[in-house]
Amino acid sequence: MKIFWCKNCLNMSTRPRITFDGRGYCNACQWMEEKKKLNWSKRVKQLEEIIKEAKKNKKSDYDCIVPVSGGKDGSYVAYQLKEKYGLNLLTVTSRPPLESDIGAKNLKNFVNNKFEHLHITPNEKAMRKLNKLGFVKKGSPYYGWLVSIFTVVIKAAILKKVNLIFYGEDGEVEYGGSTKNKNIPFFDVKYMIKNYFEGDYEEIIRESGLSKKELDWFQVEKDALKKNEIKLTHWGYFEPWDPYRNYLLAKEKYNLSETQVANTGTFTNFAQNDQALFALHMHLMYLKFGFGRATQDAGIEIRRGAMTRDQAINLVKLYDNNYPDNFKDLYLEYYKMTSEEFDNIIDKFANKELFKKISGKWVPQFEIK
């Protein structure tokens, strides 16, 4: 396999759905350039029209829903909609598996700032079964929760008769992937399943053998969005997305806390702190595709002008291939596996064209250029 890296950031040619231009710039870096020239005032007008329409909804006590975890991005979006646009919003959380203390603390700090909030804990048996199936079948260790951050929120919208949901950014557009929706304000279930559920959704649900009741929070009927006139959108469509700006605002307004040391697999300490399974998710991403959490974080820093490409390469070499040993006992207990069973699944998803196992560790056979 001939692999290569973006000439501006470190996005790798192995990334699903990514494209490159003639200069060798990935679509995330092309979008970075586009954003500087975009007529954002036109999109703000679109936003104002969308908000105006949402406020006409007399069936609900709320104008919109914002999914939150207590982290920087949901907090930023909720702040903008509440403080800048004066919306009466409902925030919603699907409780993550292996929830961290710092994640619970940050969510509590956020909610205590006069936000109405639904904290939904889906069926634990179903969550664990779907997560384990995702891990074993797809190398996606929190598949059930990944599904739930959409299905739980949509079901909450149906329950409370809310017809507008604001997610944060479209990761495909911002970080490299499909650019299909970069000029479209709304996305649908088909887009959600393909890009966010990583496909195979129906197969995993079927194979779980779970009852309809157990699966309640993990399923939304296909025509539910249309029937209930629910619109899904990303805040990142309406203004330039900047995760570090979001962090600063969340820290100032909602007392967001960071971990005391850098997170597993990266050099940052202020993002994705709500659960233990994210570290495993990112490690598997690294073994599948050759890039991990540090590559993703470095790309964000490069595109916002806070880091050079050479600095990023050094950090990626240092952090990307960090096995999440600190959480392994938690993982074994959660999945009810032996250490050997767990490592065999990890090995199954390691890309043998990119890595070679040496002394029990997967070692990259490529050098970032």
Question: 192: domain CATH number?
Answer: 3.40.50
Report the candidate in 164, 167, 165 with the shortest Cα–Cα distance to residue 56. Answer: 164
pTM (two decimals): 0.94
199: pLDDT strictly greater than 80: no
Identify whether 230 is part of a domain. Answer: yes
Residue appearing with tokens 């949402």: 54
Same domain, 181 and 108: yes
Same domain, 48 and 142: yes
Report the candidate in 275, 276, 367, 263 with the shortest Cα–Cα distance to residue 313. Answer: 367
Please say whether the beta carbons of 236 and 173 come within 8 A: yes
Same domain, 202 and 280: no
pLDDT of residue 221: 78
Please name the residues in contact with 77: beta carbons below 8 A apart, sequence gap of 6 or more. 66, 166, 167, 168, 235
Cα separations in angstroms, 346 against 102, 129, 217: 27, 18, 28
Identify whether 21 is part of a domain. Answer: no
Give me the torsion for CA of 61, 62, 67, 73, rounded to 10°.
Answer: -140
Using a pLDDT cut of 70, give the percent of the chain over it. Answer: 98
194: pLDDT strictly greater than 80: no
pLDDT digits (tens, 9 = 90+) for 102-135: 999 999 999 999 999 999 999 999 999 999 999 9
- Place 189 in a pLDDT band, splitting at 50, 70 and 90: confident
Structure token digits, residue 324: 């999440």
Element (H, E) at 364: strand 361-364
Q: Report the relative pairing of strands 186-187 and 361-364 from DSSP bridges.
A: unpaired
Report the candidate in 143, 154, 58, 57 with the shortest Cα–Cα distance to residue 97. Answer: 143
198: pLDDT strictly greater than 70: no
Same domain, 47 and 165: yes
pLDDT of residue 58: 87
pLDDT of residue 25: 98
pLDDT of residue 200: 84
Identify whether 3 is part of a domain. Answer: no
Identify whether 166 is part of a domain. Answer: yes
Same domain, 221 and 274: no
Query: Residue 322 is part of which domain span?
Result: 263-364
What is the amino acid identity at position 172?
E
pLDDT digits (tens, 9 = 90+) for 335-358: 999 999 999 999 999 999 999 999
pLDDT digits (tens, 9 = 90+) for 264-321: 999 999 999 999 999 999 999 999 999 999 999 999 999 999 999 999 999 999 999 9
Same domain, 81 and 218: yes
Measure the CA–CA gap between 292 and 124, rounded to whole angstroms.
29
Tally of structural domains, the chain: 2
Same domain, 202 and 269: no
pLDDT of residue 229: 86
Same domain, 184 and 44: yes
- Place 222 in a pLDDT band, splitting at 50, 70 and 90: confident
Please name the residues in contact with 168: beta carbons below 8 A apart, sequence gap of 6 or more. 73, 74, 76, 77, 234, 235, 236, 241
Identify whether 244 is part of a domain. Answer: no
Helix (H, G, I), strand (E, B) or coil at 369: coil
Average pLDDT, rounded, for the chain: 94
Please name the residues in contact with 83: beta carbons below 8 A apart, sequence gap of 6 or more. none
Please name the residues in contact with 138: beta carbons below 8 A apart, sequence gap of 6 or more. 198, 200, 204
Average pLDDT estimate for 71-81: 97
pLDDT of residue 190: 74
For 147, which DSSP code? Answer: H
Structure token digits, residue 185: 């304000």
pLDDT digits (tens, 9 = 90+) for 23-47: 999 999 999 999 999 999 999 999 9
Same domain, 59 and 159: yes
Same domain, 192 and 312: no
Same domain, 50 and 163: yes
Identify whether 7 is part of a domain. Answer: no
Higher pLDDT, 87 or 189: 87
Average pLDDT estimate for 159-185: 94
Same domain, 77 and 179: yes
Report the candidate in 171, 208, 166, 177 with the shortest Cα–Cα distance to residue 77. Answer: 166
- Place 226 in a pLDDT band, splitting at 50, 70 and 90: confident
- Place 1 in a pLDDT band, splitting at 50, 70 and 90: low
Identify whether 68 is part of a domain. Answer: yes
CA angle 188, 130, 142 (to 5 degrees): 75
Identify whether 254 is part of a domain. Answer: no
Q: Report the relative pairing of strands 64-67 and 355-358 from DSSP bridges.
A: unpaired
- Place 359 in a pLDDT band, splitting at 50, 70 and 90: very high
